[in-house]
Chains A and B, each alone.
Chain A
Amino acid sequence: MKAFRCDLHIHTCLSPCAELDMYPRAIVRKVREEKLDIIGICDHNSSENVASVQRAASGHPLTVLPGMEVSSREEVHTLALFDNISRLQYFQKVIYDHLPGENDEDVFGCQAIVNDRDEVEGFNQRLLIGATVLSLQEIIDHIHRLGGLAIASHIDRESFSVIGQLGFIDPTFAFDALEVTPRLGLTRARETFPELSDYPFITSSDAHFLRDVGKTYTDMWMEEGSFQELCMALRGEAGRHIIIGA
Protein backbone atom coordinates (compact mmCIF):
# COMPACT_ATOMS: atom_id res chain seq x y z
CA MET A 1 0.00 0.00 0.00
CA LYS A 2 1.04 3.59 -0.43
CA ALA A 3 -0.09 7.16 0.11
CA PHE A 4 -2.46 8.62 -2.47
CA ARG A 5 -2.77 12.38 -2.68
CA CYS A 6 -6.48 13.24 -2.95
CA ASP A 7 -8.28 16.49 -3.71
CA LEU A 8 -11.92 15.44 -3.82
CA HIS A 9 -13.48 18.86 -4.35
CA ILE A 10 -12.59 20.64 -7.58
CA HIS A 11 -14.99 22.74 -9.68
CA THR A 12 -14.90 23.24 -13.44
CA CYS A 13 -16.02 26.10 -15.69
CA LEU A 14 -19.55 24.67 -15.40
CA SER A 15 -19.89 26.23 -11.95
CA PRO A 16 -20.99 29.83 -12.46
CA CYS A 17 -18.63 31.06 -9.74
CA ALA A 18 -15.58 29.25 -11.17
CA GLU A 19 -13.26 30.80 -13.74
CA LEU A 20 -13.60 29.86 -17.40
CA ASP A 21 -10.00 28.63 -17.37
CA MET A 22 -11.17 25.62 -15.34
CA TYR A 23 -11.54 23.46 -18.45
CA PRO A 24 -10.62 19.78 -18.58
CA ARG A 25 -7.10 19.76 -20.02
CA ALA A 26 -6.05 22.75 -17.91
CA ILE A 27 -7.31 21.04 -14.78
CA VAL A 28 -5.54 17.79 -15.64
CA ARG A 29 -2.29 19.65 -16.39
CA LYS A 30 -2.41 21.49 -13.06
CA VAL A 31 -3.41 18.35 -11.15
CA ARG A 32 -0.39 16.54 -12.63
CA GLU A 33 1.90 19.43 -11.66
CA GLU A 34 0.58 19.22 -8.12
CA LYS A 35 1.20 15.45 -8.13
CA LEU A 36 -2.35 14.57 -7.15
CA ASP A 37 -3.38 10.92 -7.56
CA ILE A 38 -7.15 11.19 -7.10
CA ILE A 39 -9.46 14.11 -7.76
CA GLY A 40 -13.20 14.58 -7.39
CA ILE A 41 -14.98 16.83 -9.87
CA CYS A 42 -17.82 18.49 -8.00
CA ASP A 43 -19.69 21.31 -9.72
CA HIS A 44 -22.67 22.99 -8.12
CA ASN A 45 -25.83 20.89 -8.64
CA SER A 46 -24.53 19.55 -11.95
CA SER A 47 -22.05 17.07 -13.37
CA GLU A 48 -22.02 17.72 -17.09
CA ASN A 49 -18.25 18.25 -17.33
CA VAL A 50 -17.22 15.17 -15.37
CA ALA A 51 -16.94 12.83 -18.36
CA SER A 52 -14.80 15.36 -20.25
CA VAL A 53 -12.35 15.65 -17.37
CA GLN A 54 -12.21 11.86 -17.15
CA ARG A 55 -11.43 11.61 -20.87
CA ALA A 56 -8.84 14.39 -20.61
CA ALA A 57 -7.18 12.40 -17.81
CA SER A 58 -7.08 9.09 -19.66
CA GLY A 59 -3.57 7.80 -20.18
CA HIS A 60 -2.38 9.66 -17.07
CA PRO A 61 -1.86 7.94 -13.71
CA LEU A 62 -4.79 9.87 -12.29
CA THR A 63 -8.21 8.84 -10.97
CA VAL A 64 -11.07 11.24 -11.63
CA LEU A 65 -14.03 10.44 -9.40
CA PRO A 66 -17.46 11.49 -10.62
CA GLY A 67 -19.13 13.89 -8.21
CA MET A 68 -21.30 16.90 -7.55
CA GLU A 69 -21.66 19.54 -4.86
CA VAL A 70 -25.37 19.66 -4.08
CA SER A 71 -27.23 22.41 -2.27
CA SER A 72 -30.09 21.34 -0.02
CA ARG A 73 -33.16 23.42 0.69
CA GLU A 74 -31.51 24.52 3.94
CA GLU A 75 -28.68 25.77 1.66
CA VAL A 76 -26.24 23.23 3.05
CA HIS A 77 -23.60 22.07 0.56
CA THR A 78 -22.76 18.36 0.37
CA LEU A 79 -20.29 16.56 -1.86
CA ALA A 80 -21.65 13.46 -3.58
CA LEU A 81 -19.03 11.08 -5.00
CA PHE A 82 -19.85 7.95 -6.95
CA ASP A 83 -18.15 4.82 -8.22
CA ASN A 84 -19.04 5.45 -11.83
CA ILE A 85 -20.61 7.99 -14.07
CA SER A 86 -23.89 6.14 -14.61
CA ARG A 87 -24.65 6.33 -10.87
CA LEU A 88 -23.88 10.03 -11.05
CA GLN A 89 -26.22 10.43 -14.00
CA TYR A 90 -29.10 8.92 -12.00
CA PHE A 91 -28.29 11.32 -9.23
CA GLN A 92 -28.11 14.18 -11.72
CA LYS A 93 -31.65 13.44 -12.85
CA VAL A 94 -32.97 13.50 -9.27
CA ILE A 95 -31.25 16.84 -8.65
CA TYR A 96 -32.45 18.44 -11.91
CA ASP A 97 -36.01 17.34 -11.08
CA HIS A 98 -35.75 19.30 -7.82
CA LEU A 99 -33.77 22.35 -8.89
CA PRO A 100 -35.90 25.42 -9.69
CA GLY A 101 -34.83 28.57 -11.52
CA GLU A 102 -32.89 29.74 -14.54
CA ASN A 103 -29.38 31.17 -14.62
CA ASP A 104 -28.69 34.83 -15.34
CA GLU A 105 -25.15 34.90 -16.75
CA ASP A 106 -24.69 38.62 -16.13
CA VAL A 107 -25.40 38.19 -12.45
CA PHE A 108 -24.03 34.76 -11.55
CA GLY A 109 -21.61 33.93 -14.36
CA CYS A 110 -21.73 31.53 -17.30
CA GLN A 111 -22.02 27.77 -17.00
CA ALA A 112 -19.94 26.31 -19.82
CA ILE A 113 -20.28 22.69 -20.86
CA VAL A 114 -17.00 21.67 -22.51
CA ASN A 115 -15.58 18.60 -24.20
CA ASP A 116 -12.24 16.95 -23.51
CA ARG A 117 -10.61 19.13 -26.20
CA ASP A 118 -11.68 22.17 -24.17
CA GLU A 119 -14.24 23.27 -26.76
CA VAL A 120 -17.42 24.85 -25.44
CA GLU A 121 -20.36 22.69 -26.45
CA GLY A 122 -23.09 24.70 -24.78
CA PHE A 123 -24.24 26.48 -21.68
CA ASN A 124 -26.28 25.03 -18.87
CA GLN A 125 -29.35 27.25 -18.37
CA ARG A 126 -30.36 26.01 -14.93
CA LEU A 127 -29.83 28.05 -11.79
CA LEU A 128 -26.87 25.98 -10.62
CA ILE A 129 -25.93 28.54 -7.97
CA GLY A 130 -29.36 28.00 -6.38
CA ALA A 131 -30.66 25.43 -3.95
CA THR A 132 -32.66 22.29 -4.60
CA VAL A 133 -35.98 21.77 -2.83
CA LEU A 134 -34.64 18.55 -1.24
CA SER A 135 -33.81 18.47 2.46
CA LEU A 136 -30.27 17.61 3.52
CA GLN A 137 -31.55 14.29 4.86
CA GLU A 138 -33.19 13.46 1.52
CA ILE A 139 -29.98 14.30 -0.33
CA ILE A 140 -27.87 12.07 1.91
CA ASP A 141 -30.42 9.27 1.43
CA HIS A 142 -30.36 9.63 -2.36
CA ILE A 143 -26.54 9.54 -2.40
CA HIS A 144 -26.44 6.39 -0.26
CA ARG A 145 -29.18 4.68 -2.25
CA LEU A 146 -26.88 5.02 -5.28
CA GLY A 147 -23.89 3.68 -3.35
CA GLY A 148 -22.19 7.07 -3.19
CA LEU A 149 -20.25 8.94 -0.52
CA ALA A 150 -21.88 11.94 1.17
CA ILE A 151 -19.30 14.40 2.47
CA ALA A 152 -20.29 17.60 4.27
CA SER A 153 -18.61 20.52 2.46
CA HIS A 154 -16.30 22.99 4.23
CA ILE A 155 -17.89 22.62 7.68
CA ASP A 156 -15.70 25.37 9.14
CA ARG A 157 -17.10 27.98 6.77
CA GLU A 158 -19.98 30.15 7.89
CA SER A 159 -21.77 30.15 4.56
CA PHE A 160 -23.41 27.10 2.99
CA SER A 161 -21.99 24.67 5.52
CA VAL A 162 -24.01 22.28 7.65
CA ILE A 163 -22.82 23.96 10.85
CA GLY A 164 -23.34 27.49 9.52
CA GLN A 165 -26.87 26.78 8.29
CA LEU A 166 -28.07 24.24 10.84
CA GLY A 167 -26.01 25.13 13.89
CA PHE A 168 -24.48 21.72 14.55
CA ILE A 169 -24.17 18.26 13.02
CA ASP A 170 -26.91 16.03 14.28
CA PRO A 171 -25.53 12.47 14.71
CA THR A 172 -28.42 11.19 12.60
CA PHE A 173 -26.75 12.72 9.54
CA ALA A 174 -24.94 9.75 8.03
CA PHE A 175 -22.09 11.73 6.48
CA ASP A 176 -19.25 9.51 5.29
CA ALA A 177 -16.76 12.30 6.02
CA LEU A 178 -16.58 15.97 6.89
CA GLU A 179 -14.54 18.36 4.77
CA VAL A 180 -12.64 21.29 6.25
CA THR A 181 -10.99 24.18 4.41
CA PRO A 182 -7.21 24.46 4.02
CA ARG A 183 -7.36 27.44 6.39
CA LEU A 184 -8.30 25.11 9.24
CA GLY A 185 -6.50 21.94 8.15
CA LEU A 186 -6.90 18.41 9.46
CA THR A 187 -4.95 18.70 12.70
CA ARG A 188 -6.77 21.80 13.88
CA ALA A 189 -10.10 20.38 12.71
CA ARG A 190 -9.75 17.63 15.31
CA GLU A 191 -9.11 20.22 18.02
CA THR A 192 -11.88 22.54 16.86
CA PHE A 193 -14.59 19.89 16.59
CA PRO A 194 -13.90 17.30 19.34
CA GLU A 195 -17.62 16.43 19.40
CA LEU A 196 -17.35 15.20 15.81
CA SER A 197 -14.57 12.72 16.47
CA ASP A 198 -16.69 9.83 15.17
CA TYR A 199 -16.59 11.25 11.65
CA PRO A 200 -13.57 11.01 9.34
CA PHE A 201 -12.20 14.41 8.30
CA ILE A 202 -10.74 15.36 4.94
CA THR A 203 -9.49 18.62 3.52
CA SER A 204 -9.78 19.69 -0.11
CA SER A 205 -9.10 22.76 -2.20
CA ASP A 206 -12.69 23.54 -3.30
CA ALA A 207 -10.83 25.09 -6.23
CA HIS A 208 -12.81 27.50 -8.39
CA PHE A 209 -9.59 28.89 -9.91
CA LEU A 210 -6.73 26.93 -11.47
CA ARG A 211 -4.20 28.42 -9.07
CA ASP A 212 -6.10 26.85 -6.13
CA VAL A 213 -5.96 23.26 -7.41
CA GLY A 214 -3.64 21.33 -5.11
CA LYS A 215 -3.55 24.15 -2.53
CA THR A 216 -4.40 21.41 -0.08
CA TYR A 217 -5.10 17.69 -0.29
CA THR A 218 -5.69 14.67 1.92
CA ASP A 219 -3.29 11.75 1.85
CA MET A 220 -4.93 8.33 1.98
CA TRP A 221 -3.07 5.12 2.68
CA MET A 222 -4.47 2.50 0.33
CA GLU A 223 -3.86 -0.20 -2.26
CA GLU A 224 -4.94 1.62 -5.43
CA GLY A 225 -6.63 4.80 -6.60
CA SER A 226 -10.22 3.62 -6.73
CA PHE A 227 -13.57 4.58 -5.28
CA GLN A 228 -13.76 1.34 -3.28
CA GLU A 229 -10.34 1.92 -1.75
CA LEU A 230 -11.36 5.49 -0.88
CA CYS A 231 -14.48 4.19 0.90
CA MET A 232 -12.31 1.77 2.87
CA ALA A 233 -9.81 4.49 3.76
CA LEU A 234 -12.57 6.76 5.08
CA ARG A 235 -13.88 3.91 7.21
CA GLY A 236 -10.38 2.88 8.27
CA GLU A 237 -10.86 -0.67 7.01
CA ALA A 238 -8.27 -3.36 6.28
CA GLY A 239 -5.28 -1.14 6.93
CA ARG A 240 -6.53 1.69 4.72
CA HIS A 241 -6.72 5.06 6.42
CA ILE A 242 -6.48 8.81 6.19
CA ILE A 243 -2.97 10.07 6.89
CA ILE A 244 -3.13 12.96 9.33
CA GLY A 245 -0.32 15.43 9.78
CA ALA A 246 1.44 14.38 6.57
Chain B
Amino acid sequence: MYLEDIVKALNLKVVSGEERLAAEVLGGYVGDLLSDVMANSKEGDLWITRQIHQNIVAVASLKDHAGIILIQGCKPAADTLDKARKESVPIMVTDMPGFEVIGKVYNMIANKKGPDPST
Protein backbone atom coordinates (compact mmCIF):
# COMPACT_ATOMS: atom_id res chain seq x y z
CA MET B 1 0.00 0.00 0.00
CA TYR B 2 1.43 3.35 -1.02
CA LEU B 3 0.69 6.71 0.51
CA GLU B 4 -0.58 8.14 -2.78
CA ASP B 5 -3.24 5.39 -2.99
CA ILE B 6 -4.59 6.38 0.41
CA VAL B 7 -4.43 10.10 -0.44
CA LYS B 8 -6.45 9.44 -3.61
CA ALA B 9 -9.00 7.08 -2.07
CA LEU B 10 -9.74 9.33 0.91
CA ASN B 11 -9.42 12.55 -1.06
CA LEU B 12 -6.89 13.97 1.40
CA LYS B 13 -5.36 17.39 0.88
CA VAL B 14 -1.56 17.19 0.86
CA VAL B 15 -0.01 20.28 2.45
CA SER B 16 3.64 19.18 2.68
CA GLY B 17 6.02 16.43 1.58
CA GLU B 18 4.35 15.95 -1.85
CA GLU B 19 7.62 14.46 -3.07
CA ARG B 20 7.28 11.58 -0.62
CA LEU B 21 3.85 10.26 -1.61
CA ALA B 22 5.37 7.16 -3.20
CA ALA B 23 6.36 5.96 0.27
CA GLU B 24 5.07 2.58 1.32
CA VAL B 25 2.61 2.51 4.21
CA LEU B 26 3.36 -0.49 6.42
CA GLY B 27 0.79 0.17 9.12
CA GLY B 28 -1.02 2.86 11.04
CA TYR B 29 -0.89 4.54 14.42
CA VAL B 30 -3.41 6.78 16.18
CA GLY B 31 -2.60 9.15 19.03
CA ASP B 32 -2.36 12.73 20.19
CA LEU B 33 0.04 12.18 23.08
CA LEU B 34 3.43 12.49 21.46
CA SER B 35 5.16 10.56 24.24
CA ASP B 36 2.90 7.61 23.42
CA VAL B 37 3.44 7.93 19.67
CA MET B 38 7.20 8.05 20.19
CA ALA B 39 7.09 4.98 22.38
CA ASN B 40 4.72 2.78 20.40
CA SER B 41 4.46 3.70 16.72
CA LYS B 42 6.60 1.97 14.10
CA GLU B 43 8.55 2.77 11.00
CA GLY B 44 6.34 3.08 7.93
CA ASP B 45 3.22 3.87 9.99
CA LEU B 46 0.72 6.39 8.74
CA TRP B 47 0.04 8.49 11.84
CA ILE B 48 -3.45 9.86 12.37
CA THR B 49 -3.78 12.68 14.90
CA ARG B 50 -5.29 16.05 15.71
CA GLN B 51 -2.11 17.40 17.34
CA ILE B 52 -0.80 20.32 15.25
CA HIS B 53 2.23 21.40 17.26
CA GLN B 54 5.54 21.42 15.37
CA ASN B 55 6.87 18.54 17.46
CA ILE B 56 4.71 16.20 15.33
CA VAL B 57 7.20 16.71 12.49
CA ALA B 58 10.11 15.73 14.70
CA VAL B 59 8.28 12.66 15.94
CA ALA B 60 7.30 11.57 12.41
CA SER B 61 10.90 12.05 11.21
CA LEU B 62 12.35 10.26 14.20
CA LYS B 63 10.04 7.27 13.78
CA ASP B 64 10.25 7.23 9.96
CA HIS B 65 6.52 7.46 9.54
CA ALA B 66 5.08 7.36 6.03
CA GLY B 67 3.16 10.54 6.81
CA ILE B 68 0.71 12.34 9.11
CA ILE B 69 -3.04 12.77 8.61
CA LEU B 70 -4.61 15.66 10.52
CA ILE B 71 -8.30 14.96 11.05
CA GLN B 72 -11.46 16.97 11.65
CA GLY B 73 -10.37 20.05 9.72
CA CYS B 74 -7.25 20.59 11.87
CA LYS B 75 -4.61 22.65 10.09
CA PRO B 76 -0.91 22.44 10.94
CA ALA B 77 0.42 25.48 12.84
CA ALA B 78 2.55 27.77 10.63
CA ASP B 79 5.87 26.62 12.12
CA THR B 80 4.73 23.00 11.84
CA LEU B 81 4.09 23.44 8.13
CA ASP B 82 7.44 25.17 7.54
CA LYS B 83 9.27 22.40 9.31
CA ALA B 84 7.36 19.65 7.50
CA ARG B 85 8.16 21.22 4.13
CA LYS B 86 11.80 21.61 5.03
CA GLU B 87 12.07 18.03 6.22
CA SER B 88 9.85 16.55 3.50
CA VAL B 89 7.38 15.03 5.93
CA PRO B 90 4.04 14.45 4.22
CA ILE B 91 1.14 16.07 6.09
CA MET B 92 -2.36 15.45 4.79
CA VAL B 93 -5.48 17.20 6.06
CA THR B 94 -9.12 16.22 5.94
CA ASP B 95 -12.46 17.41 7.32
CA MET B 96 -13.44 13.82 8.12
CA PRO B 97 -13.68 12.90 11.81
CA GLY B 98 -10.95 10.64 13.15
CA PHE B 99 -13.17 7.59 13.54
CA GLU B 100 -14.02 7.62 9.85
CA VAL B 101 -10.44 8.24 8.68
CA ILE B 102 -9.06 5.48 10.88
CA GLY B 103 -11.69 2.98 9.69
CA LYS B 104 -11.04 3.72 6.04
CA VAL B 105 -7.26 3.58 6.33
CA TYR B 106 -7.49 0.38 8.35
CA ASN B 107 -9.67 -1.27 5.72
CA MET B 108 -7.39 -0.25 2.89
CA ILE B 109 -4.33 -1.66 4.63
CA ALA B 110 -6.12 -4.82 5.81
CA ASN B 111 -7.60 -5.57 2.36
CA LYS B 112 -4.32 -5.01 0.64
CA LYS B 113 -2.54 -7.43 2.90
CA GLY B 114 -5.25 -10.06 2.42
CA PRO B 115 -5.91 -12.97 4.77
CA ASP B 116 -3.06 -14.09 6.97
CA PRO B 117 -1.46 -17.02 5.07
CA SER B 118 -0.46 -18.75 8.30
CA THR B 119 -4.10 -19.43 9.25
Which A residues have a C-beta under 8 Å from some C-beta of B? 74, 135-136, 158, 163-168, 170
How distant is the Cα of A135 from the Cα of B38 in the complex, in angstroms?
21
How distant is the Cα of A165 from the Cα of B38 in the complex, in angstroms?
11
| Contact residue among A135, A136, A164 (Cβ-Cβ distance under 8 Å from B35) | A164
Set of chain A residues within 8 Å of B37, measured between Cβ atoms: 167
Q: Tell me whether A167 and B77 are in contact in the complex, defined as CB-CB below 8 angstroms, given that A135-B53, A136-B53 are known contacts.
A: no
Query: Restricting to B8-43, which residues have a CB under 8 Å from any CB of A?
Result: 32-35, 37-38
Closest 6 pairs between A and B when the two form their complex, measured CB to CB: A167-B34, A166-B55, A164-B35, A167-B38, A74-B53, A166-B34
Closest Cβ neighbor of B38 among chain A residues: A167
Set of chain A residues within 8 Å of B35, measured between Cβ atoms: 158, 163-165, 167
Set of chain B residues within 8 Å of A166, measured between Cβ atoms: 34, 53, 55
8 pairs of residues in contact across A and B, judged by CB atoms under 8 Å: A165-B32, A166-B55, A167-B34, A167-B55, A168-B55, A168-B58, A170-B54, A170-B58
* B85 smallest CB distance to A (angstroms): 18
How distant is the Cα of A170 from the Cα of B54 in the complex, in angstroms?
10
* B64 smallest CB distance to A (angstroms): 15
How distant is the Cα of A60 from the Cα of B35 in the complex, in angstroms?
43
* A164 B77 Cβ-Cβ under 8 A: no
Set of chain A residues within 8 Å of B59, measured between Cβ atoms: 167
Q: Is B51 an interface residue (CB 8 A)?
A: yes
Set of chain A residues within 8 Å of B77, measured between Cβ atoms: 135
How distant is the Cα of A164 from the Cα of B38 in the complex, in angstroms?
10
Set of chain A residues within 8 Å of B51, measured between Cβ atoms: 74, 165
Residues of B within 8 A of A (CB-CB), count: 13
Query: Restricting to B51-95, which residues have a CB under 8 Å from any CB of A?
Result: 51, 53-55, 58-59, 77
Closest Cβ neighbor of B59 among chain A residues: A167
* A79 smallest CB distance to B (angstroms): 19
How distant is the Cα of A166 from the Cα of B38 in the complex, in angstroms?
10
How distant is the Cα of A74 from the Cα of B37 in the complex, in angstroms?
15
* B30 smallest CB distance to A (angstroms): 15
* B109 smallest CB distance to A (angstroms): 25
* B36 smallest CB distance to A (angstroms): 8
Set of chain B residues within 8 Å of A170, measured between Cβ atoms: 54-55, 58
Set of chain B residues within 8 Å of A163, measured between Cβ atoms: 35
Residue with the highest number of chain B CB atoms closer than 10 Å, among A136, A163, A168, A170? A168
How distant is the Cα of A163 from the Cα of B33 in the complex, in angstroms?
9
How distant is the Cα of A164 from the Cα of B77 in the complex, in angstroms?
19
Closest Cβ neighbor of A74 among chain B residues: B53
| Contact residue among A74, A136, A164, A167 (Cβ-Cβ distance under 8 Å from B58) | A167
* A160 smallest CB distance to B (angstroms): 10
How distant is the Cα of A168 from the Cα of B55 in the complex, in angstroms?
8
Closest Cβ neighbor of A136 among chain B residues: B53
Closest Cβ neighbor of A166 among chain B residues: B55
Closest Cβ neighbor of A158 among chain B residues: B35
Query: Restricting to B90-119, which residues have a CB under 8 Å from any CB of A?
Result: none
How distant is the Cα of A166 from the Cα of B52 in the complex, in angstroms?
10
Set of chain A residues within 8 Å of B34, measured between Cβ atoms: 164-168
How distant is the Cα of A136 from the Cα of B59 in the complex, in angstroms?
18
How distant is the Cα of A166 from the Cα of B32 in the complex, in angstroms?
9
Closest Cβ neighbor of A159 among chain B residues: B33
How distant is the Cα of A74 from the Cα of B58 in the complex, in angstroms?
16
How distant is the Cα of A128 from the Cα of B16 in the complex, in angstroms?
36
